[in-house]
Chains A and B, each alone.
Chain A
Amino acid sequence: MTKLKFLKPSNKLEEGGRMSAPIQNDVCEPERNCPNCRKDIPLSRLWANQLVCSCGHHFRMGARERLNIIIDNDSFCELFTNLKSGNPLAFPGYKEKLSKAEQTSNEDDAVICGTALINKQQCCVFVMDSNFMMGSMGTVVGEKITSLFEYAKGYRLPVIGFTVSGGARMQEGLLSLMQMAKTSAAVKQHSDAGLLYIAVLTDPTTGGVTASFAMEADIILAEPSAIIGFAGARVIEQTTKKALPKEFQTAEFNLKHGFIDAIVPRREQKAVLSELLSMHNGGCNE
């Protein structure tokens, strides 16, 4: 059995360590600028470090890339794949936004759901995708999350969910708002059946998703420095005309104020989730 160590977010990964790819100085490799340490980092090195900079900054990650680092190889069985938004309000410009989002993310909407194994333990997973309209929740996201909790309840499986969201999707109006109630009710049914739900909040988790299933898990984890909040920081600044405190709405801020259980860096997430699943008897307390 592996011994778990709950490390502080790492500030330095060894240069050329096991995790990182060889540094190629002579080729003009694409780089990404780290918003935290301002260094340019070769993409291959970033990928080798699960998109975490050596300064500890966690870059945003697509849903399937994230799945890859969390679940056992080839263990994902995707569910509810045939759903697309029908633009119910005929909202101006929404159709175009949807098709653009489909192209950039290669997904039908902002969440993927399914079953998977984490160190051989079966669970239901959902992973939201910031590449699809910043993970906003409309009818499709609400329906998929709800269906997943119903499925998990039916098969008595735990749910592990990765959130990233700008909130409820404006372009589907009230129908989006109602998904908060719909998903919450499904989470409650799953919970009342004695089943485990772990949420991992990633940058950013805000608005209607924070005010529903992100904050309703039995165990709430977060990635280092992820923004987690209800109202947008800019809106708060404008309405209150007060300077925002340092670290406002970060994972660290939420930890301090008691709204999340732990901050878990990306490279430790699989081990922590696996151990938590195991401690909860595969999630089912029978």
Chain B
Amino acid sequence: MNNIPYERVKLARLNTRPTGLDYVNNIFTNFIEFHGDRRFADDSAIVAGVARLDGKPVTVIAIEKGHLPKERVMRNSGAPQPEGYRKALRLMKQAEKFGRPVICFIDTSGAFCGIEAEQRGQGQAIAENLMEMSTLCVPIISILIGEGGSGGALALGVADRVWMLQNAVYSVISPEGCASILWKDSTQAEKAADSLKLTAEDAKAFGIIERILSEQDIGEIAFYERIKSLLNEELKELTVEPDLIQKRYDRFRKIGVKEINKK
């Protein structure tokens, strides 16, 4: 059943899936949450702060959906406001200042779609993150753990390495949104999901992610241990990379080039 893209979308949205905080709590120790964007507010859809990865300090930023209905309300179901992205950027800059890597966990149906979000510059907040992340002087690893909804996901995804959980999805638009715009029929979401090529395998084939993380049931402890050791391994390499920023630039620079027809 896992081969049908729309099944993946449904799996990625399940509220029983591990959320951002589950990863933070199980992979890192000594997590201290930092709040606020220093501009307007604190957005609880994005949880961020410092923690230790096998003893070494890192900055962690996670979009948090919540599991229970009450949590979901508190977290706005993981749909960040502009303040969430600004908090994330503030803490990335802080990580840069103190020379620690940034690990992002992405899980959102999209940046919050609301009147106030527009008034406070949702587009500008995302744009600024894309721009600033492209030249951040410390390693960035982003992991898509559930839904990777469009610009709201990418705003934490301009990284040196991007990984996806096996059943996570990453898409320019939700299949429902796509179906209703293109075919004026949101019930064609299944067809849209298929057409959008939003699975982890598709993203890997297009060179958009480096690694697919297995969701095979190996027990909770082993599951997080595995991600932890992969992070350690990758960071060991990235922290000594002399051309970090140029390589990050090239990583995104090449996306889509070979898919263009030259007349």
Interface residues of B in 222-260 (CB under 8 A from A): 248-249, 252-253, 255-257, 259-260
Q: 0/1 per residue, A178-206, Cβ < 8 Å to B? A: 11111011111101100000000000000
Chain A residues lying within 8 Å of B118, measured Cβ to Cβ, are: 229-231, 236, 248-249
Report the bound CA distance from A231 to B110 in whole Å.
10
CB <8 Å contact, A188 and B172: no
Interface residues of A in 234-256 (CB under 8 A from B): 235-236, 239-240, 242, 244-245, 248-249, 253
Interface residues of B in 123-167 (CB under 8 A from A): 123-124, 126-128, 130-132, 134-135, 150-151, 154-155, 157-158
In the complex, B208 has a CB within 8 A of chain A: yes
Q: How many of chain A's residues touch chain B, expressed as a range? A: 35 or more
Q: Which B-chain residue is minimally distant from A166 (CB atoms)?
A: B181
Known contacts being A83-B261, A173-B172, A235-B113, is A230 close to B151, with CB within 8 Å?
A: yes
In whole Å, how far is A73's beta carbon from the nearest beta carbon of chain B?
28
CB <8 Å contact, B260 and A213: no
In the complex, B122 has a CB within 8 A of chain A: yes
Report the bound CA distance from A176 to B259 in whole Å.
11
In the complex, B221 has a CB within 8 A of chain A: no
Q: Which B-chain residue is minimally distant from A256 (CB atoms)?
A: B119
Chain A residues lying within 8 Å of B124, measured Cβ to Cβ, are: 210-211, 215, 259
Residue in contact with A210 in the complex, picked from B123, B155, B171, B256, CB distance below 8 Å: B123
CB <8 Å contact, B113 and A239: yes
CB <8 Å contact, B151 and A180: yes
Chain B residues lying within 8 Å of A176, measured Cβ to Cβ, are: 172
Report the bound CA distance from A178 to B171 in whole Å.
10
CB <8 Å contact, B262 and A82: yes
CB <8 Å contact, B115 and A84: no
- Which of the segments B7-15, B96-104, B194-202 contacts the partner chain? B194-202
Known contacts being A170-B172, A175-B206, is A207 close to B151, with CB within 8 Å?
A: yes
Chain B residues lying within 8 Å of A208, measured Cβ to Cβ, are: 150-151, 172
In whole Å, how far is B231's beta carbon from the nearest beta carbon of chain A?
22
Chain B residues lying within 8 Å of A258, measured Cβ to Cβ, are: 121
Residue in contact with B114 in the complex, picked from A92, A175, A239, CB distance below 8 Å: A239
In the complex, A257 has a CB within 8 A of chain B: yes
Report the bound CA distance from A201 to B32 in whole Å.
41
CB <8 Å contact, B172 and A140: no
In whole Å, how far is B155's beta carbon from the nearest beta carbon of chain A?
8
In the complex, A214 has a CB within 8 A of chain B: yes
Chain A residues lying within 8 Å of B206, measured Cβ to Cβ, are: 88, 174-175
Binding site for A on B (CB under 8 A): 111, 113-115, 117-124, 126-128, 130-132, 134-135, 150-151, 154-155, 157-158, 170-173, 177-178, 181-182, 191, 195-198, 202-203, 206, 208, 248-249, 252-253, 255-257, 259-263
Q: Which A-chain residue is minimally distant from B249 (CB atoms)?
A: A185
In whole Å, how far is A72's beta carbon from the nearest beta carbon of chain B?
28
Chain B residues lying within 8 Å of A91, measured Cβ to Cβ, are: 195
Chain B residues lying within 8 Å of A108, measured Cβ to Cβ, are: 263
Known contacts being A82-B262, A184-B131, A185-B158, is A257 close to B256, with CB within 8 Å?
A: no
Report the bound CA distance from A178 to B135 in whole Å.
16
CB <8 Å contact, B196 and A216: no
18 contacts between A and B (CB under 8 A): A82-B263, A86-B259, A91-B195, A168-B151, A168-B173, A170-B172, A173-B195, A175-B259, A177-B171, A177-B172, A182-B253, A185-B253, A188-B131, A188-B135, A216-B131, A231-B111, A231-B117, A235-B177
Chain A residues lying within 8 Å of B130, measured Cβ to Cβ, are: 180-181, 184-185, 211-212
Which of B113, B172, B259, B261 has most A Cβ within 10 Å?
A: B172
In the complex, A131 has a CB within 8 A of chain B: no
CB <8 Å contact, B154 and A180: yes
